[in-house]
Amino acid sequence: MPDDAWDIIMKIHVRAPFRLIRAAAPFMRIKAGAGTPVENRSVINVSSTSGLHGNVGQANYAAAKSAVTGFTKTIAKEWGIFGVRANTIAFGYILTRYADILSFTFFSSRGDS
């Protein structure tokens, strides 16, 4: 895999969520005053089961989605004192044109049809 293929996936799936959360930080990391209830604040990031288990031919994507999960866990620990919840949704296999191409390529290389 060329470096630019690796880098573009990292920019899309790691750097973009980082920049969005960094921009939201001043509005999220606010402590409630004494006797004042904490507002309901949440961070929800999107990952993939590829980031949890890996996937053939997707080392860059799996690494990026794993990074999102680790990033979200860190946000949960750091921002919990501000009343912020952070969660990651890890979607499983979803049939898309790209997933269809990957499946065809994988099974063709094995001799399956």
Run means of pLDDT, 10 residues per run, the chain, 113 residues? 91 95 93 74 92 85 94 96 93 76 61 53
3-state SS assignment for residue 38? coil
pLDDT at residue 53, rounded to an integer: 87
pLDDT of residue 36: 73
CATH topology of domain 3-23+39-110: Rossmann fold (3.40.50)
What is the structure's pLDDT at 107? 57
Q: For the chain, give every domain's residue range.
A: 3-23+39-110
Asked if 61 is an active-site residue, the reply is yes
Q: What is the dihedral of CA 85, 88, 89, 93, to 10 degrees?
A: -170
Amino acid sitting at position 31: K
Indicate which residue of 61, 62, 65, 72 is catalytic. 61
- According to the model, what pLDDT value does residue 39 have? 78
pTM equals 0.75
Q: Cα angle at 84 between 82 and 90, to 5 degrees?
A: 155
Q: What integer pLDDT is reported at residue 66 of this predicted model?
A: 94
pLDDT at 111: 58
